[in-house]
Chain A
Amino acid sequence: MVRSLLVRGMIAGLVAGLVAFVFARVFGEPALEGGIAYEDMVSAASGETGGPALVSRGVQSSIGLAVGYLIYGVAVGGILALVHATAQGRLGRLGVRGTAVVVALVGFTSAVLVPFLKYPANPPASSLDDTIGERTGLFVVMIVISVAGAVAATALCRRLADRLGWWNAVLSAAGGYVVLVGLAAFLLPAISETPRDFPAAVLYDFRLASLGGHVVLWTALTLVFATLADRATRPSALAGAVPTRAS
């Protein structure tokens, strides 16, 4: 059963990665090119000439972008499937599709949306090269706190549900999660490295496209995975449906 869910999660992730790649190619690349244009302008003004590119822009913005989104989609799809396998049958009376949707919503919020609010995506040339270690570290710390908080909140919610009912339990657990990540975001250091003359429209468009790409990816992933998982986990329902169709 776990294997079957895992395979379906990764297939759903592949589909989602492909859809998100198309979105990123159409809406993300123009903003990304804006960042590179700024980079070129700065290096031209300072008289620097960059060495020959290892990978051409044409490859980076097509095959490279596609491979990036596809691998990311497959990985996230597989992880979603593993979490779903653990959650299914353990979230009250939620069915398979309902469980998939809840797991994906909690996953997207905790692993992508909340970390993005603190440390948003940055276009090329809007960050300092030397701070890559610090920026990567803080980004990972924010994700770990947020995801661990979401897991703890879900466990708390299940415990409270018997006493308070589902509505109050979910509200209490979600409230606890919001306070936790709010505190973490307040305490963790801010990163503000964007050059003063970096085009604001490029930054805005880039971040919107980045978040949009994630929304597209997770939405496609959820819908495809919920459909596939439902079929995988209900062989009896499927067997019951076939004769009806045949007759």
Chain B
Amino acid sequence: MSQAAVESPIAGIAPTPIPLREIAPWAVFAGVVLLALLYLVGMDQGATSVFSGEMLHEFVHDGRHLLGFPCH
């Protein structure tokens, strides 16, 4: 009976939650790397610069504009 209550046709089978302690290290390390990627594509060599010059900005210029990041 309880099986039928959990397994509804729309919601499917409710998965078991992953313990937060297991997620935390991934969230911190991968999260930082992924946000750094977003920063490099979207913002570096604009308002702030980690890498000097204009090369990165110029290379991803079109993507930066179309992805909606503030640009020149």
Residue in chain A with minimal CB distance to B14 = A93
The answer to whether the Cβ of A29 comes within 8 Å of any Cβ in the partner chain is yes
Interface residue count for A (Cβ, 8 Å)? 68
Write out, one digit per residue, whether chain A residues 11-39 have a CB within 8 A of any chain B CB (1) or not (0): 00000000000001000110010010000
Assess the A94–B72 pair: CB atoms within 8 A: no
A245 part of interface (Cβ distance < 8 Å): no
The answer, among A71, A112, A116, A121, for a CB contact under 8 Å with B65, is A121
| Interface presence of A180 (CB below 8 A) | no
How many residue pairs between the two chains, A and B, have CB atoms under 8 Å in the bound complex? Answer: 177
Pair B68/A214 contact, Cβ less than 8 Å:
yes
Interface residues on chain B, size class: 35 or more
Q: Taking the nearest CB of chain B, how far is it from the CB of A208, in angstroms?
A: 11
Q: Determine the distance from Cα of A124 to Cα of B57 in the docked complex, in whole angstroms.
A: 13
Which one of B18, B64, B72 lies within 8 Å of A127 (CB-CB)? B72
Any chain B CB within 8 A of the CB of A108? no
Contact A210 B66 (CB under 8 A): yes
Query: Which residues of A have CB within 8 Å of B72?
Result: 124, 127, 129, 132
Q: Does A199 count as interface, using CB distance less than 8 angstroms?
A: no
- Given A122-B71, A214-B68, A95:B11 Cβ within 8 A: yes
Whether B26 pairs with A136 at a CB distance below 8 angstroms is no
A89 neighbours in B (Cβ, 8 Å) = 14-18
Q: List 6 A-B contacts (CB under 8 A).
A: A32-B66, A66-B63, A86-B18, A89-B17, A90-B17, A233-B15
Interface residues of A (CB under 8 A from B): 1-3, 6, 24, 28-29, 32, 35, 53-55, 59-61, 64-69, 71-72, 74-76, 78-79, 82, 85-86, 88-90, 92-99, 112, 115-116, 119-124, 127, 129, 132-133, 135-137, 139, 206, 209-211, 213-214, 233-234, 237
